[in-house]
């Protein structure tokens, strides 16, 4: 039984001279302590078998490193195309521009351990518990690598930013930022084929930069549910019998417009907090109304979301509830100076209502693979067995070094 779990090291266990006496073996045999290459290779195989994880198979595949302690360096070359310019006779032509950026990183050491009660091999429940703990160990390491893939994609250097800095105007104004946000706000709800437009726009960008077509689309699962579970796609009147069948089957969208659909995961980033999807964020939007110079007694009708009804306010009532009336000494100033009171009554106002919240979904379109996007480098794994006689436990500690680039 030792050999079935610990491999060839189980054959080197010496026979216990006290085996026929009424006592239990409380210690791990010396032949099984320390590094175990048999278990190490099998755990490595379970982790790098990326068939169950598209993040380390399609997006950033696993690549083994012989020496993960060394500094990982790579260069990115960009060759810019441009229109040929006219040149005078016998003069020098304009030189095409090219750039080179250097990057570097180190592998990060991760570690996890499992523990078993002494003599867990003596019962079927102990063997089953050990098997489940190994599955838990492999799943935890894969989950960590999946998170690293998400973080690497979100924090990757932006080539678009480089192009903007070299060729385009970088003046950031409130009007420009607001217009960009308004153009993208609620695009999936307002435009039926919004995702098609987003994908084709991304393809055009990549083609302009000289990249091959993208291969994957990373998005939260709620996006594909919205694409497949809309009433227009599930009702009998619009899709016949296939509509109700699609509704009963649930959302199933393995690919879309030639891209493999990969659903992003939720991660417990803070202990005690609900796991969240880092491609989804909560956004609060504010409405504002501009009230021009009107009489203080003019009635304004404003929608109240709490009561779901229209309520009437005068400009004087709104002014009494404004922030300016909360300033220290403002009431005394108004009472002693009639011009100030008149100016406030007839001055234009801006009503701000920060009461609209929605979830904004992030979508990443790219071309995965070691030659296009990057890789999940790993190496120098070590699984060691130890014996904790004080607490009556055996343990296995697994350490590995990874770098998601």
- pLDDT per residue over 233-276, tens digit each? 788 878 888 888 888 887 778 888 889 999 999 998 888 888 88
Q: What is the DSSP letter of 54?
A: S
Region for residue 136 given its phi and psi (left: phi exceeds 0; alpha: psi -120 to 50; beta: otherwise): alpha
Region for residue 359 given its phi and psi (left: phi exceeds 0; alpha: psi -120 to 50; beta: otherwise): beta
Residue 258 CA to residue 380 CA, distance in Å, equals 38
Task: Say which residues have a Cβ less than 8 Å from residue 116's Cβ, sequence separation at least 6.
Answer: 126, 129, 130, 133, 393, 394, 395
In the block, residue with structure tokens 């899709």: 239
What 3-state DSSP class applies to 35?
Answer: strand
Report domain extents, the chain.
2-16+24-80+98-156+374-404, 176-282+360-366, 286-357
Average pLDDT of the chain is 81
125 forms beta bridges with none
Is the pLDDT confidence value at 23 over 60? no
Report which of 225, 259, 231 is spatially closest to residue 243, judged by C-alpha positions.
231
299 forms beta bridges with 314
Task: Say which residues have a Cβ less than 8 Å from residue 399's Cβ, sequence separation at least 6.
Answer: 109, 110, 111, 381, 382
Tell me if 376 sits within 8 A of 149, measured CB to CB.
Answer: yes
Cβ neighbours of 376 (radius 10 Å): 25
Element (H, E) at 204: helix 194-208
- Model confidence pLDDT, tens digit, residues 103-158: 888 888 888 888 888 778 778 888 888 889 888 888 888 888 999 999 999 988 88
- Model confidence pLDDT, tens digit, residues 270-302: 888 888 898 888 877 777 777 777 777 778 888
């Amino acid at each position: 039984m030792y050999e079935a779990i610990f491999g060839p090291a189980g054959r080197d266990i010496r026979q216990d001279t006290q085996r026929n006496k009424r006592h239990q073996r409380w210690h791990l045999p010396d032949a099984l302590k320390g590094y175990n290459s048999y278990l190490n290779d099998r755990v490595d195989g379970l982790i790098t078998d990326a068939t169950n994880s598209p993040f380390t198979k399609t997006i950033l595949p696993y690549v083994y490193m012989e020496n993960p302690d060394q500094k990982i360096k790579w260069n990115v070359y960009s060759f810019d195309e441009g229109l040929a310019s006219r040149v005078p006779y016998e003069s020098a032509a304009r030189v095409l521009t090219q750039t080179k950026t250097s990057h570097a990183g180190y592998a990060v050491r991760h570690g996890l351990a499992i523990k078993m009660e002494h003599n867990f091999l003596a019962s079927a429940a102990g063997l089953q518990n050990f098997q489940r703990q190994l599955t838990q160990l492999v799943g935890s390491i894969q989950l960590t690598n999946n998170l690293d893939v998400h973080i690497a994609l979100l924090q990757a250097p932006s080539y678009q930013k480089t192009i903007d800095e070299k060729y385009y105007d970088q003046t950031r104004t409130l009007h420009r930022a607001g217009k960009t946000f308004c153009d993208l706000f609620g695009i999936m709800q307002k435009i039926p084929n919004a995702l098609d437009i987003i994908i084709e726009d991304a393809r055009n960008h990549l083609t302009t930069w000289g990249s091959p077509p993208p291969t994957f689309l990373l998005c939260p699962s709620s996006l594909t549910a919205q694409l497949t579970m809309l009433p227009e796609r599930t009702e009998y009147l619009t899709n016949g019998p296939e509509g109700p069948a699609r509704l009963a089957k649930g959302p199933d969208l393995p690919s879309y417009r030639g891209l493999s659909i990969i659903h992003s995961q939720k991660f417990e980033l803070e202990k005690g907090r609900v796991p969240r999807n880092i491609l989804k964020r909560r956004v609060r939007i504010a409405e504002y109304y501009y009230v021009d110079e009107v009489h203080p007694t003019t009635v304004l009708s404003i929608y109240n979301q709490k009561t779901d009804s229209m309520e009437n306010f005068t400009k004087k009532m709104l002014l009494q509830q404004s922030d300016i009336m909360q300033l220290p000494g403002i009431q005394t100033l108004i009472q002693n100076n009639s011009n100030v009171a008149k100016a406030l009554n007839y001055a234009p106002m801006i009503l701000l209502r920060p009461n609209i919240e929605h979830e904004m979904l992030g979508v990443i379109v790219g071309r995965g693979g070691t030659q296009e996007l990057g890789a999940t480098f790993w190496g120098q794994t070590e699984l060691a067995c130890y014996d904790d006689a004080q607490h009556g436990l055996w343990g296995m500690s697994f350490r590995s070094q990874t770098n998601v680039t």
